[in-house]
Every structure is written in C-alpha cells, then in structure tokens.
Structure 1
Amino acid sequence: MSRSTRATLALTAAGLTFDVVTYDYDPDADRIGMQAAEAIGASPSIVLKTLMAEVDGKPVCVVVPSDREVSMKKLAAAFGGKAANMMKPAMAEKATGFVVGGISPFGQKKAVPTVFEIEAMAHDRVYMNGGQRGLQVRLAPADAVKAAKAITAPVVA
C-alpha cells in the first residue's frame, strides 16, 4: 500500500502535520467508517467519514463522525440550498478521482464546497480517509478544515 496519495500530497503541500495510519480494509463491511474505527482502535466519534452529496444538484463533500448520519435538511441549509441527496457511488468516484472506501476531502480531482460536522471540532485529533482504502490520516480538525477550504456546520441528524 502506498502511503503517498493525492490526499497526503495535498496535506503536505499545505504544510500541515499529520500521521498516516494503515489498516486492513474490509470490502464487505456494511459501514466503512465504523470498520475503520474498529480496525485502528479509535472511537467512531473521531474517525470521520467522507461522503459526497448534491445540494440543489451541485456536488458537495460532507465529513461527519463515522457513527453519525447526515441530515439532508441540515446539509442543504449549510450551503444555503433547498434540497440535498447522497451522490451515487459511481458519480462520487468520477467527481473525486477516488474509489468508494478511499474518498478523502483532500486532493479531490476537482475541489467542491465542503462541510465538516461542527462536533468534530471538539477533538484534539481526528482520523479521516487518506485517499485510498485502508489508509487514514490523523490530524487536528482545524487543520483538516483549513486544508479542505471547508466550512463547519451542524449537519448530522
């Protein structure tokens, strides 16, 4: 497994400090973020999952704790929109250049508006996908928001 991905290169280029953590990715897991949390021995509240959605038909990225679900109403509101829905996996892969299970908010093929769940900001360090299956990056949530040029908002149900 390569520890150098478009995501880790983007973090390095931004001058941020982060750790890389690898784990055995389970392609049959029902909930990828929860499986990652268990595999690395971290609380699901600090292992963030990266999801791709659409608000009023435009792509957005949403990052939330792996044990929480996105509220479509709150997601739409975070971007000043009326309606939100999850992006189909094939569209998410095409939009980001990453495969499902390896989608990161950093180094996406084309940057899209990104929101981090505000609850994630309460932690010293969080984990999120580093751009490939079985690879997590660990960093300060404020640094993650900065690197992704994201906003923070309450977006979980």
Structure 2
Amino acid sequence: SAGRSLRASVLRNRSVLLQWRLGPAEARRVRAFALNCSWRGAYTRFPCERVLLGASCRDYLLPDVHDGVRYRLCLQPLPLLAEPAGAPEPAAPAECVEFAAEPAGMREIVVAMTAVGGSICVMLVVICLLVAYITENLMHPAFGRPGLRRQP
C-alpha cells in the first residue's frame, strides 16, 4: 500500500494474509477496524461484505481467493468515541492494497515442464556417453593399426 503499513501476502493455498501496523499513539485512539473489499471479475465489479475487526487485531486471513481476479482491500481504523460532551474524533482515511492471485494451474504446468525437460536432458547426456563408450571400447576399427595385427 502507499502508506506501507498495510501488506497483503498471497499464499500458496489460494488465500491472502493481510497484515498492518500502527504506531503506539495511533493504537490507543482506535476502537476497531473496518475492512472493505471489492474485486473485479471478467464482466463486473463485486463488493465484498464489510468486516469489523477488534482494535488489537493486526492481521486477517482471506481464504479462497480466485485466480486472476483483481482484488482491492481497504482497511480503515475507527476512532474511539469521545466523551458525550465532546465531538467525536475524525476517522482516519482508509488505506488500500490491490493484488491479483497468480493462476495456480500455470505454476504447476511450469514446474512439470521443467522437470520433464530436465529429465530429457539427463537422458540425452547418458545416451551420448553410452554411444561414446561403445564407439571407443567395444567396436573394432575396420583398419587396424600397423604392428597390432592379430595372428591366427
């Protein structure tokens, strides 16, 4: 995010770990956090439901993220209610982060292709070494060297 206090980490199990930090002075003035999200699908944009988190919360796990969809998560600290005679504290602006999960299928295909390609290369090297060994050691040349002729 722009403020660098909100961070989204896309995990391998298709979930996202959202983490944030507050300074000590800010943390004393917060009563809760409001988490809003939206995601842009192929044809339309969908809002996620609003989630309220406790003041001591510093992370949130968003499970089952769709591959290739652009997400936008916004976290807004909700201020403490002021005394009844005083005016309430103004709400801090929401900090947002955007991300898209990489399609898991493509990652698996790349890993599989790399493994197959590596296996083929190893097999080709072994075949070349085997042909070189056979050529050098087992096959007799058609024309022998002078002085090394075999006697019957």
TM-score between the two structures when normalised by the length of structure 2: 0.20
- The answer to which structure, 1 or 2, has the higher relative contact order (CA under 8 A, 6+ apart) is 1
**Structure label with greater radius of gyration:** 2
Q: Which has the higher strand share?
A: 2
